[in-house]
Amino acid sequence: MAEQLIISISGLRGIVGENLTPSIAAEYGCAFGTFLRCASTREEQVLSVCIGWDSRSSGQMLKSAVTAGLCAAGIDVIDLGLVTTPGVAVMVKKLRCSGGAMITASHNPIQYNGIKLLLGNAIAPPSHQAEQIKQYFFDKNFALVDSPNSGKVTADEHTDANHIAAVLALVEKQAIAAKKFRVVLDSVNGAGARVTTKMLTELGCEVSAINDEPTGLFAHPPEPTIENVKEVCEVVKAKQAHVGFAQDPDADRLAIVDEAGTYIGEEYTLALAARYVFSKRTGKAATNLSTSRMLDDIAAGAGGQVIRTPVGEANVAEAMLEHDCIIGGEGNGGVIDLRVSPVRDSLVGIALVLQLMAEMGKTVSQLARELGGYYMTKEKFAVDQARTQQILDLAKETFTDAKLDTTDGCRFDFDDGWLHLRASNTEPIVRVIAEAKDQSTVRRYINDVLKIRNQVLG
Ligand code: MG
């Protein structure tokens, strides 16, 4: 059976040629255009959306289709070309657009593509607005305009320059350049290579770029997880580099490899970036309920505080804007600094980590060791919606000694660790994440959950 087209809080995603076709993409463009038109105030007569694509071969086809849909709804479109997702966010703000669209399936395999949307404040639509767009799409309820009022298409080639300038404003360029860091960069033949290499060169780094042709033909499975980035680890060792960076195809996620060629885990990306930011400022950070406690330790050390949100980039970004957070993001290697944009940004992560290395005069492995000491385990199992609720209810009866947060499934905070159970937004599965200072405690939490699962599922 063909897989379903997935429309979630993070946009639309499907398999090109099966369920993701030009007509679907054009209708999604119409739906987004209709939403923007209905949401706009009367003064905003000319509405515009900037659009980019991440190097997947079907990207230009889908970009043309979404552009057609937006123009049909009377929205002007600014074509940014082949750029990153955080690059689109920077340009939404810079060009004062009413929204942004990015043609990407992020870290999904090569047969997929998708459409991510941004509102005028450059955050992904929060759930109630994502729901409205979805409704326009499914009802084919489009506010189409006549020929004289159709949207017009222009191009803008300044995304890289604007993005780099915004990121470099966060760090001291000379301090990093003085270190002459040797850096390995794996952009998985996605959108990140060109802009990131340029930025690293401006930071005086000696860059060894691998998989840096934006062909969309991924050199390895594109999620920057430990099994997929072995090549960076090898090249770091061979080149005796100070650090290795691995991006996903649209360059919003970042994984780090230390100077010994060891993958340190995506949880450390946000933690290291936050360590630098909290060394200069104090305030609030925001992250989702499934992210490591390292961030709480760092914030607490600087007299700051962490806001926890449901999983989903838009939820974190919304909380960051609401609480004026100085740093935020997700444990999957997504760092957000509102001074650049409210979108996860691997360039922000890279710049902040290089600044931390330069200022502390320490290696990545030393810095990671100073933060770490936690063990995290992730599990998932298939279960339908009704029985998911039974599992959550039983968990509440079991872990009565924990502090409970129910904003996204159940998160139990214990003195010695935490446990998060939540239903996936896109599949009939429950995800279980546990973290503690020792492996046996993590195992105990997970085993307790598996016992509950067995009790419910029989
Ligand atoms: Mg991505």
Q: What is the pLDDT of residues 228-278, one digit of tens each?
A: 999 999 999 999 999 999 999 999 999 999 999 999 999 999 999 999 999
Q: What is the DSSP letter of 123?
A: S
Domain assignment present for residue 106? The answer is yes
Indicate the helix (H) or strand (E) that contains 143. Answer: none
SS3 call for 48: strand
| Residue after which a domain boundary falls, among 347, 371, 395 | 371
Is the domain of 353 the same as that of 399? no
d(CA 67, CA 28): 10
Query: From ligand 1's centre to the CA of 251, what distance in Å?
Result: 6
Domain assignment present for residue 1? The answer is no
| Residue-number span of the structural domain to which 224 is assigned | 177-371
- pLDDT category at 43 given cuts 50, 70, 90 is low
Residue 33: CB atoms within 10 Å: 31
182-186 and 243-247 strand pairing: parallel
CA trace torsion 201, 203, 206, 209 (10° rounding):
-50
Q: Is the dihedral of CA 360, 362, 367, 369 positive or negative?
A: negative
CATH number of domain containing 398: 3.30.310.50
Domain assignment present for residue 424? The answer is yes
Identity at 381, one-letter amino acid code: F
Give the CA distances from residue 327 to residues 255, 278, 342, in Å, rounded to whole numbers and listed in that order.
Answer: 18, 8, 10
Domain assignment present for residue 25? The answer is yes
**Percent of the chain as helix, strand, coil, to the nearest 5:** 40, 25, 35
Nearest to 381 by CA among 289, 452, 331, 309: 452
Is the domain of 400 the same as that of 316? no
- What is the model's pTM? 0.96
Query: From ligand 1's centre to the CA of 429, what distance in Å?
Result: 21
Indicate the helix (H) or strand (E) that contains 413. Answer: strand 410-414
| Residue after which a domain boundary falls, among 371, 399, 420 | 371
Is the domain of 326 the same as that of 432? no
Is the domain of 362 the same as that of 428? no
| Residue after which a domain boundary falls, among 101, 131, 159 | 159
Give the CA distances from residue 284 to residues 291, 322, 323, 324, in Å, rounded to whole numbers and listed in that order.
Answer: 15, 11, 7, 7
Number of domains in the chain: 3
Identity at 356, one-letter amino acid code: L
Structure tokens at 333: 């290697």
Q: Catalytic residue positions?
A: 106
Strand order in the sheet with 6-8: 6-8, 11-15, 112-119, 99-103, 48-53, 76-82, 153-155
Mean pLDDT (whole number) for 304-316: 94
Structure tokens at 194: 């060109």
Query: From ligand 1's centre to the CA of 138, what distance in Å?
Result: 25
Residue written as tokens 């909290």? 278
Query: From ligand 1's centre to the CA of 116, what distance in Å?
Result: 10
CB-hemisphere CA count at 13 Å for 292? 25
Question: 417's torsion region: left (phi>0), alpha (psi -120 to 50) or beta?
Answer: left
Mean pLDDT (whole number) for 13-17: 94
CA trace torsion 14, 17, 19, 24 (10° rounding):
90
Is the domain of 381 the same as that of 367? no
Domain assignment present for residue 98? The answer is yes
The pLDDT value given to residue 44:
61
Residue 34: CB atoms within 10 Å: 25
Is the domain of 341 the same as that of 324? yes
CATH number of domain containing 120: 3.40.120.10
**Number of residues in the chain:** 458
Of 29-38, 237-246, 315-324, 383-392, give the lowest mean pLDDT range: 383-392
Query: From ligand 1's centre to the CA of 302, what distance in Å?
Result: 30
Query: From ligand 1's centre to the CA of 229, what distance in Å?
Result: 15
Q: Please classify residue 190 by burial: count the beta carbons closer than 10 Å to its beta carbon, then call 0-12 exposed, 13-18 middle and 19+ buried.
A: buried
Distance of alpha carbon 88 from its chain centroid, rounded? 13
Query: From ligand 1's centre to the CA of 103, what distance in Å?
Result: 11
Distance of alpha carbon 168 from its chain centroid, rounded? 20
Mean pLDDT (whole number) for 101-120: 95
Domain assignment present for residue 166? The answer is no
Is the domain of 296 the same as that of 394? no
Query: From ligand 1's centre to the CA of 22, what distance in Å?
Result: 22
Nearest to 367 by CA among 242, 281, 199, 188: 242
Query: From ligand 1's centre to the CA of 276, what distance in Å?
Result: 23
Quick check: 356 and 367 in contact, CB under 8 A? Answer: yes
Is the domain of 316 the same as that of 382? no
Q: Average pLDDT of the chain?
A: 95
Domain assignment present for residue 170? The answer is no
Quick check: 163 and 84 in contact, CB under 8 A? Answer: yes
Is the domain of 291 the same as that of 415? no
Mean pLDDT (whole number) for 330-340: 97
The runs of H, that is alpha helices, within 178-312 are 192-202, 230-239, 267-280, 294-301
| pLDDT tens per residue, range 84-97 | 999 999 999 999 99
Quick check: 243 and 179 in contact, CB under 8 A? Answer: no
298, pLDDT greater than 80: yes
d(CA 20, CA 12): 9
d(CA 164, CA 297): 30
Q: Which residues contact 212 (CB under 8 A, 6 or more apart)?
A: 185, 187, 189, 193, 194, 197
Domain assignment present for residue 101? The answer is yes
Is the domain of 199 the same as that of 313? yes
Is the domain of 354 the same as that of 434? no
The pLDDT value given to residue 373:
83
Q: What is the DSSP letter of 293?
A: T
Query: From ligand 1's centre to the CA of 223, what distance in Å?
Result: 8
- pLDDT category at 428 given cuts 50, 70, 90 is confident
Distance of alpha carbon 454 from its chain centroid, rounded? 33
Nearest to 145 by CA among 97, 78, 75: 75
The pLDDT value given to residue 425:
74
Q: What is the DSSP letter of 4?
A: P
Is the domain of 358 the same as that of 453? no
Structure tokens at 398: 């079991």
| More confident position, 41 or 173 | 173
